[in-house]
Structure 1
Amino acid sequence: MRITLWHPPQNPQRVRAYLNQLGCLPQDVKAFVVPHGNGVKLSVSDAAAAPAVLEALHEAGVLSEGQTLEAVPFAVFEERAQAGAGKAGRAPRAKRQGSSASNRAPARNLTGSRLDEAEALDLASIPVPDPVLIRIDHREPAALFEALQDLPNVTLERTELALGDIEIQGRETRYVIERKCCAETAARTDFEASVVGDDKRLFFQSEKMRLEEGITPIVLLEGPVHDNSRGMLVQAIDGMLSFLVTIQRMNVINTYSLHHTAYVALKLAAHDRSGLGYEPPLRGRKPTGLPQVAQLAFVLEGMPGVSANIARLLAERFGSMAALVAASEADLAAVPGMGPKRIAQIRAVLHGG
């Protein structure tokens, strides 16, 4: 394994550690880690290959037995990269005296590792085949209105909302969004002030939303709520979020920025009015190049009550879907694990009824 560090040219303060020369990955699949809390976060361009990458990290000694990436400081990857080929496209930085993976404090990632990607999102790329109506409270930032203006099939109203900051008129419900800014400030964030301030307004706002009929209530946190808190402990923030979800029955959404908020609001409106625009697959990636029996087992595993083991036994016993359709109840009962209930479920799928 060869680890290479890369800094985005537009934001040199950020860094990725690419994991190269992994025999477990096809040539076109990329894997890298970024700083995340006290550890790192793994990204693999093919999510199905992530377990193989973790295994490779264990084999390379980056991860010890039972250790997770959340417990590995990014400094470990930096040191391995510098010990190998150095940083890609940058001269290696001199190591500070006395610094090590064990005593170096992890850098705080205040803006999130994908902020630039969120800022580059194009609202015009969201298909809006059916008209949508979005109302925004007149006290909201002008940039929010500008982001949603002049889009096809989007009607934007600037008004005074009695509840929330953004309202989306859906087919069967109104989506009421209470937006809380969590951007870094010298004082408390908007979210923090609404929780620990004298008025404790988020408690009352969420209660009003909970009691309102005919709406889908959403609390939208804009920015890194934990990193930018000035007075609330992590557990206190988690407690408030848990309260909003479990007691107040709020939906909680996190965005990176105001622009990202506008994008998410339009996505909600378009999905409500027009759906996804495609039918999502009910199964994962289809296997290729497998023997016929294995292909049949994959198909059978999608049936109700059929586990991977039962699917394999059925495929080995009958060999084809045609033979399974023609099988009698007695034939099915001869397969280990096939009881009356499971047989009835399978026959209902194969024969209808």
Structure 2
Amino acid sequence: MPFVDIFSKSEKKGKPIIRPKIIVDTREKNSLIASELMRLQCDVEFQHLGIGDYIVKDTVIERKTISDFLGSMLNKRLVKQLKNMQPLKSKFLIIEGIDEHELYHSESHINENAIRGFLLSIILNFKIPIIYTKDYADTAKFLIVLAKKPTKEQESGINDKPKPRDVKEQLQYILEGFPGIGPKTARKLLEEFGTLKEIINTPIEKLEKLIGKKAESFKLSDKKYN
């Protein structure tokens, strides 16, 4: 009598593989990080992001290599990016390729204490955490760990199997981080402009025609902390 494997069907079915979802700005499409994320079987979606380079769940991440960080420190570009991120509920800055010698003794000739002061300002004034990574592969792994990390509700046993948020819900959640912007207003803005980038870059006067005085919230992007 031939042997019949009665378990073969159940073994083949198994549990569906859940791929970590990570939204990547289109400017990062050809980066080593994007390639690494796809190599590691992540669900990568490219979007035009007005704020940050990556969105994982509800967290916005800005990434800078050492040279990018020092360069944008000098030309003040990073300060503007940090101001845009500041009102958001969940965000952090990645500084990639960190090495003490490279950071403080680069060809930029920036005073060491000026660099230290700027790092402290990011954490204390802008309230933005900083994560240091070794290289692009390390950065990719941080993003994946974040994507797999349980939410507070899951950790506490509440809503153990929540429905994964799609891109629309994630973008809406980020907009709701601005003061006075609720779900209805966030949806209205996204339906009108399509992307975070378009909303942030739209003149306040035009936003006021659509959502009234609530548009004042977006002036935070241009205000100085000190």
TM value normalised by structure 2: 0.54
Residue by residue over 1:18-57, the C-alpha shift from the partner in whole angstroms, topping out at 9 and shown as x without a partner, is xxxxxxxxxxxxxxxxxxxxxxxxxxxxxxxxxxxxxxxx
Alignment of 1:1-353 (within 5 A): 130-140=18-28, 141-149=30-38, 151=40, 154-169=42-57, 174-182=58-66, 189-197=67-75, 200-212=76-88, 215-224=89-98, 226-228=100-102, 229=106, 230-272=108-150
Q: Distance in 1 between matches of 2:21 and 2:152?
A: 13
- Aligned residue for 2:149, secondary structure, equals helix
Q: Distance in 1 between matches of 2:110 and 2:150?
A: 35
| Amino acid aligned to 2:34 | F
Name the structure with the higher helix share: 2
Alpha-carbon spacing, 1:129–1:238, altered in 2? closer, same or farther (3 Å): farther
Structure 1 unaligned spans of 5+: 1-127, 183-188, 278-353
Q: Distance in 2 between matches of 1:269 and 1:242?
A: 27
Q: Distance in 1 between matches of 2:84 and 2:91?
A: 10
Q: Distance in 2 between matches of 1:257 and 1:148?
A: 13
Q: Distance in 1 between matches of 2:65 and 2:154?
A: 28
TM value normalised by structure 1: 0.35
State the percentage of identical aligned residues: 27
- Aligned residue for 1:180, secondary structure, equals strand
Alpha-carbon spacing, 1:226–1:203, altered in 2? closer, same or farther (3 Å): farther
Question: How much does 1:157 deviate?
Answer: 0.6
| Amino acid aligned to 2:132 | N
- Aligned residue for 2:109, secondary structure, equals coil
- Aligned residue for 2:94, secondary structure, equals strand
Q: Distance in 2 between matches of 1:247 and 1:151?
A: 36
Residue by residue over 1:57-92, the C-alpha shift from the partner in whole angstroms, topping out at 9 and shown as x without a partner, is xxxxxxxxxxxxxxxxxxxxxxxxxxxxxxxxxxxx
Aligned-residue CA RMSD (Å): 2.7
Alpha-carbon spacing, 1:274–1:211, altered in 2? closer, same or farther (3 Å): closer
Size of the aligned set, in residue pairs, is 135
